[in-house]
Structure 1
Amino acid sequence: MTVNGFERGEDGGGPSECDGQYHSHKLPLAALSTSWYANGQRCHKKIRITSVRNGRSVEATVVDECDSHHGCKNNIVDTSKAVWEALGLDTNIGEVPVTWSDV
């Protein structure tokens, strides 16, 4: 899992693929790598993200694609700061191991 900015002007780039909107980093949000994004089939659906390090889980809403054809790894869950905080993780780490599942 990596941290992403979903607000205008943050490191996430343009608006979200699912709805063409920007979203608050205070909301638990996720962008999935291309194959998991599944051409938008997971848009606005909840996923459960679990930290491998501490076992804590949080539900997040999929709002974007992390494009694996343009720099994103094939197995990335890119999330808002709210997800990291809910999992008790430091966003400065950069990348942490997680598991995820559809809710």
Structure 2
Amino acid sequence: MAKVKIAVVIVILALLQVSWATARKHSGGSGGTSAVMTVNGFEKGQDGGGPSECDGKFHSNDDLIVALSSQWYAGGKRCHKKIRITSADTGRTVEAQVVDECDSHRGCKNNIVDSSPAVWKKLGLNTNVGEVHVTWTDA
């Protein structure tokens, strides 16, 4: 009888482990900060405006790069650091480098990850959508 109880407990624990793994996958891995991801052009003359705040340069839209809302940009403390972004739609994850601020004092909302078209492509998303829900963490 004890062997049967142990077997039942093992089966229940195995099922719970699978359930937890599935829940983590659908919530964006280890969780993270909820955000709205927008698409931005970081090349000269595009919608990003001037050069990036972190280095004073323009960047290729083929680079995996982002601008973060002012509070997340943290006065430049995240400059040149990578963040991990997970799409709520596709479940895919990508790492991108922070190169700019999405200035919340000049119209950018407080929950924005403004990213290059390359980030959208890696996540399997269509840039024509314009806004998607993601989670992000420091990489």
Name the TM tier (shorter chain). over 0.9
| Cα distance in 2 between the residues matched to 1:17 and 1:5 | 14
Q: Which residue number in structure 1 is paired with residue 138 of structure 2?
A: 102
Amino-acid identity (%) = 72
Structure index of larger Rg:
2
The ranges of structure 1 where at least 4 consecutive aligned residues each deviate by more than 4 angstroms after the TM superposition are none
80, 100, 110: which one aligns with 1:74: 110
Count the aligned residue pairs.
Answer: 103
Instruction: Mark the runs of 5 or more structure 1 residues left unpaired by the alignment.
Output: none
Q: Counterpart of 1:90?
A: 126
Within the alignment, does 1:18 sit opposite 2:54 as a pair? Answer: yes
* TM-score normalised per structure 1: 0.99
1:17-47 Cα offsets, whole Å, 9 max, x none, are 0000000000000000000000000000000
1:41 and 2:41 correspond = no
1:54: how far off? Answer: 1.2
Greater RCO, 1 or 2 (C-alpha within 8 Å, sep 6+)? 1
- Give the alignment partner of residue 5 of structure 1, picking from 17, 41, 45: 41
Aligned partner letter, 1:93: V
Q: Could you tell me the TM-score, scaled by structure 2's length?
A: 0.74
Identify, as 1 or 2, the structure richer in helix. Answer: 2
SS of match in other structure, 1:96: strand
Unaligned runs of 5+ in 2: 1-36
1:27 and 1:101 map into 2 onto residues whose CA distance is 19
| In structure 2, distance between residues paired with 1:92 and 1:9 | 19
